[in-house]
Amino acid sequence: MAKAGSTRKARHWYTILYVQVLIAVVIGCGIGGFFPKAGMALKPLGDAFVSLIRMMIAPVVFCVIVQGIASMSDLKKLGTLGVKTLIYFEVVSTLALIIGIAVAVVFHPGAGLNIDAATLDPKTAAVFVGRAKETGFIPFLLSFIPRTFIGALADGEVPQVLLISILTGFAIANMGEVGKRALGAIEVANKVVFGIVKIVVRAAPLGALGGMAFTVGSYGVASLASLLKLMGTFYLSSFLFVVVVLGIIARLAGFSIFRFLAYIKDELLIVLGTSSSETVLPDMMRKLEGLGASRSTVGLVFPTGYVFNTDGTNIYLTLAALFLAQATNTHLSLGQVSGILLFALVASKGGSGVTGTGFVTLAAILAAVPSIPVESLALLVGIEKFMSECRALTNVVGNGVATLVVSRWQGELDVKNMRRVMEKPAENSETNRA
């Protein structure tokens, strides 16, 4: 390991996105605090970044949902394993979304920010204004039907993209060999889409600088307290979810969540450094097999969890959505909160490990719930990098626990051996490599 690491060319600290965003946030706060007018003039930087994110909403939603549904043919072949996996994913994912809502309602992290929606660019949300005025169940259902297939993607209307994605996914899943080739094309397109997301995310420092300069310049240094409160609330929520919710689930499956966290500590450090859960997928699968889960179960459950079981992202989606509503003094009815929950339950499927995907999905949710100004996303640009790290960490832990739980549910795991490997992973390194 040492030799391999020594041969790698060291990266300059100033090339790391994490550092760039942090510096941009500090500079933005300084400009907004000392030169308020200049800070407000930098608002287009934040708006531009939000627009770039919005540009990717339709292709991201389409690719991830089509790929997820079309891949369900494998679940059918594996029978009860696939059913158990989906049941677990849906229950835990829904619980994570509810926790995000509950925490936002209890702690009110956005209260007191008092963002005036009139100061935000109305053109950014112009596409969604018409749907905001529609009420009733029938208009809501009709809004899902686009005039043309391509029109849904071109206009970026999220409910319509959702409908054509579901139909396309089921169509591909029932096309046999032709469907497999089509799925391969979708997978390639998915990689291209997230490749673009990676490029867009590189603009985060400029977006962070503009967003924070405008926020502090317009609303004062006190506005930072609300953003820090949101970040702290999210980290606390994720910590409690892992320790309490996943801890109870793990205990019922016969192992300690703390032992498991210690067992995968190296992978968690990698995720912390990259803000991406994809970077540890191979090592996590190897380690889960080392605990006694079969290769077929690990191969199905853990990668599929990247699509259907993004617990950290789920907590973030509902918590951040309600934070933005509170920050802009947008009152949400129980029906609207329920709508956020239901849409997030679908939109969160396909949350990739790529940095910034959670932000894209949040933008999609705001697009579907236009009562919350989509321009308010600029408020989160400055802390997005920190939120992304917590999402990735929680997602990895959640999918690791899910794999072991489903494996135990299948009767595969030798619990005593699993505990022994967790307690002394170094002594079982050879087993883990098998």
Model confidence pLDDT, tens digit, residues 52-84: 777 777 787 788 778 767 776 555 555 677 788
Both ends of the chain: CA-CA distance in Å?
Answer: 18
- Helices and strands (H, E) in the chain, number of each type: 25, 0
As given in the structure block, the two tokens for residue 258 are 């703390």
Class of residue 178 by CB neighbours under 10 A (exposed 0-12, middle 13-18, buried 19+): exposed
96-124 residue pLDDT tens: 999 999 998 888 887 777 766 666 554 44
Closest CA to 238 of 393, 19, 411: 393
249 — pLDDT class (breaks 50, 70, 90): very high
pLDDT of res. 140: 47
CATH architecture under which domain 2-433 falls: Orthogonal Bundle (1.10)
User: pLDDT: is 236 or 429 the higher one?
Assistant: 236
pLDDT band at 273 (very low <50, low <70, confident <90, very high): low
Could you give the CA distance from residue 129 to residue 312 in angstroms, rounded to a whole number?
Answer: 30
Task: Decide which of 361 and 282 is more confident.
Answer: 361
Interatomic CA distance for residues 264 and 290, integer angstroms: 12
Regarding predicted confidence, which is higher, 70 or 39? 39
Residues 6+ apart with CB under 8 A from 20: 14, 204, 205
> Across the chain, what does the average pLDDT equal?
76
pLDDT of residue 404: 92
**222: burial class by Cβ within 10 Å (0-12, 13-18, 19+)?**
exposed
pLDDT of residue 241: 93
The count of C-alpha atoms lying within 13 angstroms of the C-alpha of 268, restricted to the half-sphere facing its C-beta, is 16
* Residue 226 to residues 135, 352, 383, Cα–Cα distance (Å): 32, 28, 11
